Chain A
Amino acid sequence: MTAQGSVEEIAVTIAERPAGTPPDESILLDVRGLQTHFHVMDGTVRAVDGVNFSVPRGGTVGLVGESACGKSVTALTIMRLLDIPPAEIVGGEVWFDGTEILGLPEDEMRHLRGNDIAMIFQEPLTSLNPVFTVGDQIAEQVRLHMKVDKKEAIDRSIESLRLVGIPSPEQRIKQYPHEMSGGMRQRVMIAMALSCEPKLLIADEPTTALDVTIQAQILELLKSVQARTKSALMLITHDLGVVAEMVDEIVVMYAGQIVEQGTAEQVLTAPTDPYTMGLIESLPNVEKRGGRLSAIKGVVPSPFNLPPGCRFAPRCPYAWDACRTTSPELVPAGGPGQRARCLLHTPAGAARRAAMLDTAASGGATAGQGA
């Protein structure tokens, strides 16, 4: 845990703030009640449905969830890169560096993109334009935002390639993306994203398309350049192992909603939402060697046919009648500042929670003895 991760500060960052007023100076990105819907032929998909979280200056936040839980759409909404229509930003505010950016004119938003907020995408193989050299593609962004001449833009491109550990960058900038490996291309994407020294770096599954050995390198790289450049990092991933190493705070999403948020330590060691518990239980673990990995039963509900109550209720081992009719709110649970979207943490679920904890404790003890 770094300095930003102290429990008291987290408690501040996720406290409610009145709409229409800028967040505290220490907060770089503040997302409030964000709702993004997609209007498609079969109906409306509520891809992001009331999401609140914030990223402190220089801080690191991980957005975690299964595929199609709305984490990428959240990022693209912040960047305002969604095609409208079919997408529609139905409600909410996004405060970046003291300005609400969902209402910014496109011209001003463009100055933020690539300059103050940069994004790295999942697919390094297709995210670079195949017909331009990597140098061209980095220098293009540098020239756009830094107002420097061509030569200096190229020098800066070389510098940023060097920063991400690409050997002999002077030669590499003349290469086309297809002449590089996947890991190299993702390094180029990172170099491009960092070339204008952004205040916020959004990395959308930056390692998913890479093989495991390269994944570790890229994560290491992201962490080191993030520390060096002091930019904030919003890491989107489905991989809990990745967030454990990379971020201070974790936001867990399910079916378009946040189901749990807190510090990395809180969420990973003492999860309070049954979905997060399920995710963590399904991780391979030294103590569980030899046994079958557990999985969360069932599938993510269809976005056109969400359950009426808690969206996780059909898959939840602890669900009871109330869960199928009442939509839970995000309520304080567990440690300071930690919150979960689960009825177990409301007065109605208190008794059940106590019983559940008892079983878990005894069950855990048995398992411990068995091992």
Chain B
Amino acid sequence: MGKYIVRRVIQAIPVLFGITIVVYAILLAAPGGPTARFANNPRVTEADREKFKKAWGLDQPVPVQYCRWMGICNPNNEGLAVFISDQGVPNFLPTAIGGGTNGILHGDFGISISTGQSVSSMIARAALPTAILAGTALVIWLILATLIGSFSAIKRYSFFDQASTVFAYVGYAMPTFWLGIMLIFIFSGPGLNILPAGGMTETRLSPPFGTEAYWAYFAANPFQAIADIGRHLLLPVITLVVVNIAGDSRFIRASMLESLSQDYVRTAKAKGLRNRVVWFKHAFRNAMLPFVTNVGLEIPFLFAGAIVTETIFSWPGMGRLTIDATRDYDYPLLMGVLLITAILVVFANLLADIAYAVVDPRIKY
């Protein structure tokens, strides 16, 4: 198993390298470019644009730009010396042994054009709100989807099964943005007005989330702070849960139905086991096998930011960061976000494969 994990991690390296090229190529091919942000600003002259391009290194040939972004080339050197760091060793090596400091190989995702902050710090700041939202939603939706799916299969064609089928199709067909807006309209509209329409914290109550001042406030009033986040969390979590539960509960229902029709379930019954044990030990364990892979593929996209949900509820997470970066032609930020998403997908797949081997004794690596 250990050998398998090491092999998979090593295999991931060329994959991730390929992803950097694809991300770079796609953004290069997209219309606009970093200077498109000035398109509607008549006060920016052609000379200003050239100055902007020079300042951000956009005047360099594309391979050089990519090479610098990756951290293989040293932007301070010219000619063949670009591959050598200021310390005189190959630039791509880790900083600790004299390699360069720039580029994603050294953890430097560059500077955001629109905010001037480092991309890594912006992503780090957005990661926690996304983790809170995605984590809460994921736990609730997996538990509910598993319960609903299993009971639907066990009580096939019962009223509960029919009702959950209808719920699943309605949930599946409902666009996220529409559900989100309806929830805001109902719970935050002038009628009820009991829940906040967006944001993560009450800004009149506490400093902005993520700042040092906020953590000081959090330490002073932890319960108040958590309750405040909880109130803001409610609507986006409901949105994510309703939309995602639909497909997953169907998945588990189908998987469970298949398990329940297997010979070993009949054997378990013939042993005299209680129905509960037959269902939730013998059938359920097998029904979960394909679902593990399914969840493994869903998780990275959730943690990369539920883009629509976060945007509707102004949740300061990765999804909103992606939208902001796109809208502002903030290429370094956009590339950083896309790359992080890709890394999450690669590693979530790895985790899913490992988890699969843990739950299914027939899989040996």
Contacts and interface: CB of A to CB of B under 8 A. Distances in A.
Contact of B272 (A112, A127, A130): A112
Interface string A113-156: 11100110101001111111100000011001100000000000
A127 B264 CA distance: 4
Given A126-B262, A126-B264, A131-B285, A81 B269 contact: yes
A79 interface: yes
B266 A131 contact: no
Contacts of A112: 272
B360 interface: yes
B270 A131 contact: no
Given A126-B262, A126-B264, A129-B264, A141 B362 contact: no
Contact of B264 (A115, A130, A144): A130
A118 B267 CA distance: 10
B62 interface: no
Interface in B245-284: 262-264, 266-274, 282
Most B C-beta atoms less than 10 A away, residue of A81, A111, A129, A130: A129
A81 B270 contact: yes
A121 B263 contact: yes
A178 B272 contact: no
Contacts of A141: 271-273
A192 B271 CA distance: 9
Contact of A121 (B266, B272, B360, B361): B266
A176 B364 CA distance: 12
A144 B273 contact: yes
Contacts of B360: 130-131
Contacts of A130: 264, 286, 360-362
A203 to B, nearest CB: 12
Nearest to B289: A131
Contacts of B13: none
A113 B272 contact: yes
A123 B262 CA distance: 11
B355 interface: no
A128 B359 CA distance: 16
Contact of A129 (B267, B270, B272, B359): B267
Interface in A148-187: 176, 178
A176 B270 contact: no
Contacts of B289: 131
B266 A113 contact: no
A145 B272 contact: yes
A178 B361 CA distance: 9
B272 A131 contact: no
Nearest to B157: A85
B281 to A, nearest CB: 8
Contacts of A145: 272
A57 interface: no
A272 to B, nearest CB: 35
A126 B272 CA distance: 18
Chain A interface size range:
20 to 34
Interface string A70-114: 000000000101000000000000000000000000000011111
Interface class of chain B by DSSP: helix
A151 B49 CA distance: 79
A131 B359 contact: yes
A176 B362 contact: yes
B257 to A, nearest CB: 12
A202 B359 CA distance: 33
Contacts of B274: 110
Given A176-B362, A178-B361, A128 B270 contact: no
Most A C-beta atoms less than 10 A away, residue of B264, B282, B285, B362: B264
Contacts of B268: 129
A178 B263 contact: no
A81 B260 CA distance: 13
A176 B361 contact: yes
A141 B362 CA distance: 23
A84 B266 CA distance: 14
B329 to A, nearest CB: 52
A131 B359 CA distance: 8
Contacts of A192: 271
A114 B271 contact: yes
Given A123-B263, A128-B264, A114 B270 contact: yes
A119 B263 CA distance: 12
B286 A140 contact: no
A118 B359 contact: no
B356 to A, nearest CB: 12
Contacts of A178: 361-362
A4 B359 CA distance: 49
Contacts of B362: 130, 176, 178
B361 A79 contact: no
B267 A127 contact: yes
A271 to B, nearest CB: 33
Interface string A284-312: 00000000000000000000000000000
Contacts of A115: 272
Contacts of B263: 121, 123, 126-127
B1 to A, nearest CB: 16
A176 B360 CA distance: 10
Contacts of B282: 129, 132
Given A114-B273, A129-B264, A129-B282, 15 more contacts: A81-B266, A81-B269, A110-B272, A113-B271, A115-B272, A121-B263, A123-B263, A126-B263, A126-B264, A128-B264, A129-B285, A130-B360, A132-B285, A144-B272, A178-B361
28 contacts: A79-B270, A112-B272, A113-B272, A114-B270, A115-B272, A118-B270, A121-B263, A121-B267, A121-B270, A123-B263, A126-B263, A126-B264, A129-B267, A129-B282, A130-B286, A131-B285, A131-B286, A131-B289, A131-B361, A132-B285, A133-B361, A140-B271, A141-B271, A141-B272, A141-B273, A178-B361, A178-B362, A192-B271
Interface of B: 262-264, 266-274, 282, 285-286, 289, 359-362
- 10 closest A-B pairs by beta carbon, nearest first, are A114-B272, A113-B272, A114-B271, A126-B263, A129-B264, A141-B271, A127-B263, A176-B361, A119-B270, A127-B267
